[in-house]
Every structure is written in structure tokens, then in C-alpha cells.
């Protein structure tokens, strides 16, 4: 691209002519869609739809993740001019990616929220498009998994987190970001024997049959061997990847509601995600980014990189097309 073309780019979220390619508009200006992809509800010919779910009414500690999708989109502007590093292919040139916008819901009608989110994801999956969801608190993974399990059957869950989120709760109508995977297992949405929780560093009475690679094991084993162990457990089973930003240590991601020390570094997480290339991933989310607790923006930047890694993983089998 010529310098004059680069200088004339603005608001690519609306003016982009193609769903592929880099963007060179100023990082500090313009409409902040994710990676400057086109904002559209048209799923025709799309590979991946990035969508925001600004919901944080299920948290047990500090609110603020409703601002996560907007912050992650803004942070993603730092990545738009180059191919994602270290993947060996340029997902932005290979894949047709859109920003599908946010889920619309009535914040005062919380009981209606889960059904609206499941239907939102159903619409995307019905078009044979993968979703990458920007949260929002971690409860959102539960309604999303319902849509994925309907299409693919019981999923392998690959979860990066400080907490297992499997605390006992048999009231399926309760909306809680610490119990949704207990419910997902009970409802058969997740196959725990072929699922992995990475970075755990809080006590849970019953792991519900899930495979746990806690934070200490990651530190001792290292990210490369950790990725190998994860891939062995997942096999070729359809996988949903959920990345709670508190899987990272608070030194790398302070902007979250329930931070726990001793977590993964951003370097460890990036290597693990890269070395997971080839898993049978169907979709994913990045959750619990809470901008009010991080004035530096580092947490949102980490979240944007995770979402980009999800895109690269989803596009791995399409990289040579």
C-alpha cells in the first residue's frame, strides 16, 4: 500500500471494501471495530464473526466487564497493520472476518439474557460461521456452549482461568459466573474427560472429572510441554476455548474482577496458544476484562491478543487455501 493510501484510510469499520487484509488507519482515531474489521450483520461468505457481550451482572466481586468488549476493540487497533506474529500465515489475509457488533439485551431483564445470547450464537453458527466472543463476565460461556453443543454435540472445553467455575449449583436459573461449568457438565454440554482447565490456582471441592493443569504445573512444565499435554487430552474432539483473563497473573492483567496471584505470564499464554495450532477448535471467547481496574490498558491489550490468537487457531486449517 502506498503512503498516500495509508494516509487516507479512516473508519475502516464502515468503509472497508473487503473482509480481508491489513488496515493502516491511525490507531488513535476512527471507529474501533475489532481489528478494524467491517461492522455488519451480513454473515454471507464469512469465516469468523467477532461479537461483543457487554454483560457483568453475574459477578461475585467487582463489576466492570460490561466495558470489556469496547476496550478490547480499542486495544486491537494496535495490531491491524501487521500479520499476527509467529503463526506462519496471515489470518487477516486468509480469512473473511467481520465484527458482528454486540448482543442487544435489556439490562433490567436479567432472566431473559441467557436465552437471548444462545439465540445470538445460534444465528452465527447456523450460517456455518465461527464466533469469537468478547466478554463480559464468564457466565456468558454457558449460554454460548448451549448453542455449540446443539450443533456439535458435547464439547471439549479448553479453559484458561484462575478458577474452575465448577462450584456446585443445581439451580439452572441462577446466573453466576462461578458455577456455569458445573451446570454445563450436568447438562451434558461439556465432556469433562476430554476437557482441560489451565492456570487454576484456587481450591475446588469437586473437579467434576475435568483435567486440571494448575498454574504451578505450567510454571514447572513450561508452555511448550503444557501445550503438548493439552493437545493429547483434547485429541480431535470439537473444542470450545474460553479464556478468562484472570488466568494471567495480575502483574500482566490487573483489570479483572477476581485477580489471583501466581498466574500465567502473557509470554507463557502466547506460546501455549500458538502451540495449540491444529486442535479441532470451533469457537471461543475472551472474558472478564474489566477496564476500570487497569488505567494502563494492558489487560485489554492482552485480551485483544487472545482474541487474535483465537482467530488464528480457527483459521489454521484454512491457511493454505
Tens-digit pLDDT profile for residues 283-295: 999 999 999 999 9
Phi–psi pair at 168, nearest 5 degrees = -65, 135
Q: pLDDT band for position 96 (50/70/90)?
A: very high
pLDDT of amino acid 9: 87
Tens-digit pLDDT profile for residues 17-66: 999 999 999 999 999 999 999 999 999 999 999 999 999 999 998 999 99
Percent of the chain at pLDDT above 90? 91
Instruction: Please tell me the distance from the alpha carbon of residue 129 to that of residue 64, in angstroms, as a whole number.
Output: 29
Q: pLDDT band for position 321 (50/70/90)?
A: low
Q: Is the pLDDT of residue 192 over 70?
A: yes
3-318 CATH: 3.40.800.10
Closest CA to 129 of 70, 194, 248, 42: 42
Query: Domain residue spans in the chain?
Result: 3-318
pLDDT of amino acid 4: 58
Number of residues that this document lists for the chain:
321
Over residues 156-181, the mean pLDDT reads: 95
pLDDT of amino acid 320: 80
Q: Is the pLDDT of residue 309 over 80?
A: yes
Nine-digit cell string for 2: 502506498
> Are 69 and 52 spatial neighbours (Cβ–Cβ below 8 Å)?
yes
Q: Is the pLDDT of residue 251 over 60?
A: yes
Closest CA to 310 of 68, 47, 45, 41: 47
Closest CA to 244 of 261, 257, 228, 225: 257
Over residues 219-240, the mean pLDDT reads: 98
Residue 202, burial from CB neighbour count under 10 angstroms (0-12, 13-18, 19+): middle
CA dihedral sign, ordered 206, 178, 309, 216: negative
Q: Is the pLDDT of residue 319 over 90?
A: no
Tens-digit pLDDT profile for residues 130-156: 999 999 999 999 999 999 999 999 999
The Cα-based distances of 137 to 56, 66, 220, 246, 258 in angstroms read 5, 8, 29, 11, 11
Mean of pLDDT over the chain:
95
Over residues 148-171, the mean pLDDT reads: 96
Amino acid at each position: 500500500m502506498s503512503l498516500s493510501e495509508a494516509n487516507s484510510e479512516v473508519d475502516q469499520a464502515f468503509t472497508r471494501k473487503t473482509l480481508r487484509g491489513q488496515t493502516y488507519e491511525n490507531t488513535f482515531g476512527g471507529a474501533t471495530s475489532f481489528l478494524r474489521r467491517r461492522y455488519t450483520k451480513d454473515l454471507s461468505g464469512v469465516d469468523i464473526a467477532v461479537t461483543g457481550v457487554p454483560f457483568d451482572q453475574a459477578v461475585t466481586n467487582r463489576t466492570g466487564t460490561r466495558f470489556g468488549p469496547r476496550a478490547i476493540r480499542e486495544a486491537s487497533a494496535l495490531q491491524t497493520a501487521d500479520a499476527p506474529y509467529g503463526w506462519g500465515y496471515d489470518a487477516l489475509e486468509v480469512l473473511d472476518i467481520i465484527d458482528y457488533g454486540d448482543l442487544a439485551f435489556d439490562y433490567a431483564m436479567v432472566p431473559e439474557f441467557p436465552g437471548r445470547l444462545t439465540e445470538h450464537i445460534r444465528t452465527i453458527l447456523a450460517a456455518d460461521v465461527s464466533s469469537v466472543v468478547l466478554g463480559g463476565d464468564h457466565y456468558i460461556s454457558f449460554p454460548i456452549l448451549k448453542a455449540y453443543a446443539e450443533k456439535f454435540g458435547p464439547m471439549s472445553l479448553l479453559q484458561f482461568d484462575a478458577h474452575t467455575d465448577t462450584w456446585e449449583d443445581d439451580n439452572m436459573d441462577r446466573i453466576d459466573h462461578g458455577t456455569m461449568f458445573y451446570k454445563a457438565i450436568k447438562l451434558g454440554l461439556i465432556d469433562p474427560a476430554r476437557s482441560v482447565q489451565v492456570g487454576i490456582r484456587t481450591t475446588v471441592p469437586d473437579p467434576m472429572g475435568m483435567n486440571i493443569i494448575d498454574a504451578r504445573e505450567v510454571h514447572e512444565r513450561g508452555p511448550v510441554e503444557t501445550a503438548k499435554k493439552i493437545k493429547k487430552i483434547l485429541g480431535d474432539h470439537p473444542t470450545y476455548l474460553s479464556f478468562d483473563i484472570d488466568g494471567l497473573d495480575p502483574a500482566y492483567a490487573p483489570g479483572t474482577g477476581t485477580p489471583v496471584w501466581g498466574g500465567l505470564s502473557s509470554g507463557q499464554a502466547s506460546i501455549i496458544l500458538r502451540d495449540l495450532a491444529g486442535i479441532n477448535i470451533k469457537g471461543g471467547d475472551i472474558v472478564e476484562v474489566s477496564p476500570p481496574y487497569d488505567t494502563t490498558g494492558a489487560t485489554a491489550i492482552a485480551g485483544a491478543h487472545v482474541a487474535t490468537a483465537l482467530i488464528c487457531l480457527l483459521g489454521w486449517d484454512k491457511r493454505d487455501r
